[in-house]
Amino acid sequence: MPGTGFKEFHTHVTLPATKEKMGEGEKYQLGTIGALSLSVVSSVSIVICNKTLMSSLHFIFATTLTSWHLFVTFCSLHVALKLRFFEHKPLEKKMVMGFGVLNGISIGLLNLSLGFNSVGFYQMTKLAIIPCTILLEILFLGKKFSKRIQFSLVILLVGVGIATITDLQLNALGAFLSLLAIITTCVAQIMTNTIQKKFKVSSTQLLYQSCIYQAATLLVSGPYLDKLLTNLNVFSFKYTTKVTMVIILSCLISIAVNFSTFLVIGKTSPVTYQVLGHLKTCLVLAFGYIIVHDPFSWRNILGIMVAMVGMIIYSYCCALESQQKPVEGGGQMSQVCIK
């Protein structure tokens, strides 16, 4: 996968040094697997929680809820910092502020895209993030992707498209909002990866410094966006004990979701994170059918199977190319899998 986490290392003449490097590579690989697993488990969990909140309890204020998620994440990281679970590493304030605001804007635009488009067109918007990310990385970062990786991504996207796209109703405003959502999301995720590597900051350090600006952006804009999309006021909603408890649970799960997002992108790449996101979409669809008996058709089953084949081929290609990297003497790889 792009950024499967295989750390680049070279063989040395002395055996102990080689073993040490291999040990570091294995630890890094295990850390990447842990990050991917945490992302899948936490994301699927929060989808289930939010589905209960919005479908059963009729709390449909998605953008405001996201702002609460980010604020709780910041508070939890602030406590962790005080308890010295991680060290604060200062970054340029303007850069971090711009990065946080951009992330907040991308979330708001994705919610607007869903509100002003059909579900099918919204799914197309999400699918377009991968090729757009690849294009931006090729144009501005000089990265290259092998034909094997491109082929596996095409299979994956076709599978997800078959499983999720039901209609493609198009309108000018919705299409414009989707285009803005795609661009801001791609840029924000590329920046997440670039900042962590360039300034050698951990995912926790970057998330702590940026999520307060992201939360502030959505705290201010969230109620207005939600009212625009739902014609309801979040402050007039009747907060029963059950609703409040589910909101709290959703906020607690979001800590793991937000942390794992930065962790996965930092250890791998924005493309890998998007691939993982489509895998989670398939898992949520399958869960809905098996556990809560959501309507399912042959298209859903076929799409999930095709997407899983694409995911397997993608993982295999990245693992294969990561093994070739040290053999080639540390030369530049033909794709971004193992940056």
Residue 71 forms part of a structural domain = yes
Dihedral angle at the C-alpha atoms of 128, 134, 137, 143, nearest 10 degrees? 180
Position 63 scores a pLDDT of 94
**How much of the chain, in percent, has pLDDT values that exceed 70?**
83
- Of the candidates 42, 35, 34, 33, the residue with the CA atom closest to the CA atom of residue 284: 42
What count of Cα atoms within 13 Å lies in the side-chain half-sphere of residue 196? 24
Q: Tell me which of 18 and 192 has the higher pLDDT.
A: 192
Task: Specify if 10 maps to a domain.
Answer: no
Q: What is the pLDDT of residue 167?
A: 67
Query: Is residue 6 assigned to a domain?
Result: no
pLDDT at 276: 83
Q: Is residue 93 part of a domain?
A: yes
C-alpha 93/C-alpha 1 separation (Å) is 32
Flag whether 107 is in a domain.
Answer: yes
Sort 308 into a burial class: Cβ within 10 Å, 0-12 / 13-18 / 19+. Answer: middle
Cα distance between residue 188 and residue 85, in whole Å: 26
Q: Is residue 181 part of a domain?
A: yes
Q: Among 72, 53, 93, 18, which residue's Cα sits nearest to residue 251?
A: 72
Q: In angstroms, how far apart are the furthest CA atoms of the chain?
A: 70
What is the rounded CA–CA span in Å between residue 293 and residue 311?
25
Are the beta carbons of 336 and 3 closer than 8 angstroms?
yes
Please check whether residue 146 lies inside any domain of the structure. no
| pLDDT band at 280; cut points 50, 70, 90 | confident
The residue among 14, 1, 18, 2 whose CA lies nearest residue 326 is 18
CA distances from 56 to 51, 52, 61, 115 (A): 8, 5, 13, 19
Length of the chain: 339
Find the domain containing 240 and state its range.
Answer: 33-141+170-267
Task: Quote the pTM value.
Answer: 0.77
29-81, pLDDT tens digit by residue?
777 788 888 888 888 888 889 988 988 899 999 999 999 999 999 999 999 99
Element (H, E) at 104: helix 93-116
257 pLDDT above the threshold of 80: yes
Q: How far are the Cα atoms of 110, 271, 308, 316 from residue 4, in angstroms, in the given order?
A: 27, 11, 17, 11
- Give which of 193, 150, 157, 198 is closest to 321, Cα–Cα: 150
Is 301 a member of any domain? no
Q: What are 211-251's pLDDT values in tens digits? A: 999 999 999 999 999 999 999 999 999 999 999 999 999 99
Number of domains in the chain: 1
